[in-house]
Amino acid sequence: MNENELYSLWLEKAVDDPDLQTELKSIEGDADAVTDRFYRDLEFGTGGLRGVIGAGSYRMNIYTIRRATQGLADYVNEAFAVNPSVAIAYDSRIKSDVFAKEAASVLAANGIKVYIYPELMPTPMLSFAVRELKCSAGIVVTASHNPAKYNGYKVYGSDGCQLTLGAAEIVLKNINKVPMFDGAKVIPFEKGLEDGTIEYIKQEVITAYIDKVAEQGIHTDLCATSGLKVVYTPLNGTGNKPVRMILKKIGITDVTVVPEQEYPNGNFTTCPFPNPEIKEALELGLKLCETVKPDLLLATDPDADRVGIAVPDSNGGYVLFTGNEVGAMLLEYVCAERTKLGTMPEDPVAVKTIVTTDITKAIAKEYGVKIIEVLTGFKFIGEQIGFLEDKGEENRYIFGFEESYGYLAGSYVRDKDAVVASMLICEMAAFYRTKGISLLQARENMYKKYGVYKHTQKSFTCEGASGMQKMKELMTMLRTDTPKEIGGLPVTRFDDYLDSTSTDCKTGAKTKLTLPKSDVLTFALTDGASVIIRPSGTEPKIKAYYTTTGATKKEADALGTKIADDFQRILGF
């Protein structure tokens, strides 16, 4: 069917949600609007679905949710013949609760036991529920830190980690066999509750999760008397209850919550981009800091798997730390303090993604920690924990993080966790405070010890059908006409993770890359600099990551700006 035929079909069939009918009638005769909603299906990637909420095959709605869930149900019933079950969580986004219940209704209709949280919960608590309840799979309805118009649907395996590439391919094949409007089995949600096929997750699971988070502390005994003062914002998402609960549990009680962002609000009216990576999302928190004068501003994203911070600077204001800086500081703190206490495991392991700061390698060398590098995506960090668990060595894992503000200590979940990260950040700040050291000074101490590593990331938006094509063309161009220098620095090595080859640009010699195939390119430059580029797997963006080093921050910054400007020219943006 072409776009207009699909539009007519949806106008006839999409009657279970009045909002969809209203939207479809409003775009009648608008060719561009119709094309944008129907030119393709919403793609089930390795993590699941993510897209704009609305009517059409290229939108998040109850029909695309039902279709995806039927594909998942077919996979679960085939892979887990005995007592199959799925856990479900959802965040504060528009229609998240609706989509979660639709998914539950489809699973229940397919004879699969469903455990669903009775209220919105962070993404890591879904991972925990899968493991704690020994489920076959898990679903969390969230679009993480995207703008309000988006929602998403992430699928987890029985290990609590996001679905593996192989399993995701099977689910995708199943989905493609399901007709949009009459292919999914569905029962009313309330009927599932009545017959016990659907069951609300009990408080005991939530309590067990909080206890596991608390176990990851190192010096939590110092927190109550440290005098640490915190301003916290959950950015209208799911972090409000669990983050405040864990901080109270370890003795940090002087916590002021940003009132406008305290309660769930899927419209995110005070922060159009609810992403703790960007300063605009923290403006209300920073304004409150002017009055409260805390030691730390803490911000979690809507599904509470990422956390960002700001700390007082020497000029009376507050400075934001990057994900790389916080992750490196946490790794240094965990390594140093566990070493002192004698709680470091034998042959400890830390895991980072390929786009995450290389200062971790210097820190790891200092403390005898093995660093494992994985592709972008926290599921690959979770996968490494699983490999250790298979050998009975999960306790070797001490920390993992990615540059995009995702951190995890402990193996109780297999995804980044802003709840445990919030606890450890506050504990670290409290510990240093008892030593008369601010977090700003602790960061400078780290740079003095290991050198300054500067990391920046630039996203280039490529929306719609033309945007998808543009991203493909850019990646092809970089492969066929590889830059010989960027920002005046020669390219010494070119890694193509889709082709699984690493090329020495001086000799032309090629070696094989061992990581899974992925549409990622790395340009290694002289002076320890590098550029990495990849299309986002969840957003209509192509992302470039820049690394530079220097004896001083000023030196590293200047080189970083030069490289970023030149690479943007190469891309044609």
Between CA 64 and CA 57 the distance in angstroms is 7
Phi, psi of 236 (to 5 degrees): 60, 25
- Direct distance between the N- and C-terminal alpha carbons of the chain, in angstroms, rounded to an integer: 35
Nearest to 321 by CA among 277, 354, 290: 277
Cα separation of 270 and 267, whole Å? 9
SS3 (DSSP) at 349: strand
3-state SS class at 257: strand
User: What is the Cα–Cα distance from 503 to 495, expressed in whole angstroms?
Assistant: 6
Q: Closest Cα partner for 333 from 417, 397, 211, 426? A: 426
- 136 is known as an active-site residue: no
Which of 144, 158, 422, 518 is catalytic? The answer is: 144
CB 220 within 8 A of CB 428: no
Residues 6+ positions from 351 with CB-CB distance below 8 Å: 371, 372, 373, 374, 381, 384, 385, 397, 399, 400
Q: Which amino acid is present at 162?
A: Q
Q: What is the distance between the alpha carbons of residues 377 and 381, in angstroms, rounded to a whole number?
A: 8
DSSP secondary structure string for all residues of 424-474: HHHHHHHHHHHTT--HHHHHHHHHHHH-EEEEEEEEEE--HHHHHHHHHHH
Beta carbons within 8 Å of 454's beta carbon, 6+ residues apart = 546, 547, 548, 549, 550, 553, 556, 557, 559, 560
Q: Residue 73 is encoded by which pair of tokens? A: 């149900």
Q: How far apart are CA 69 and CA 510, in angstroms?
A: 43
Residues labelled as active-site residues: 144
